[in-house]
Copies of this chain bind each other. A is one copy, B any other.
Amino acid sequence: MVARKSLKGDYCPSARSLDVIGDWWSLLIVRDAFDGLTRFGEFQKSLGIAKNILTERLRTLVASGILELVPTSEGGTRMEYRLTAMGKDLFPVMVALRKFGERHLFAPAEEHSLLVDRASGQPVQLDIRAQDGRPIGPDETIILKVPEGE
Contacts and interface: CB of A to CB of B under 8 A. Distances in A.
The interface centre, meaning the residue of A12, A27, A100, A145 with most chain B CB atoms within 10 A of its CB, is A100
A86 B99 CA distance: 12
A13 B97 contact: yes
Query: At the interface, is chain A mostly helix, strand, loop or mixed?
Result: mixed
A96 B89 CA distance: 10
Number of copies of this kind of chain in the complex: 2
Nearest to A83: B138
Q: Which of A4, A34, A116 has the most CB of B within 10 A?
A: A116
A115 B101 contact: no
Interface in A104-150: 104-106, 109-132, 136-138, 140-150
Given A14-B27, A15-B28, 8 more contacts: A11-B112, A12-B112, A14-B97, A23-B24, A24-B24, A95-B96, A116-B144, A117-B131
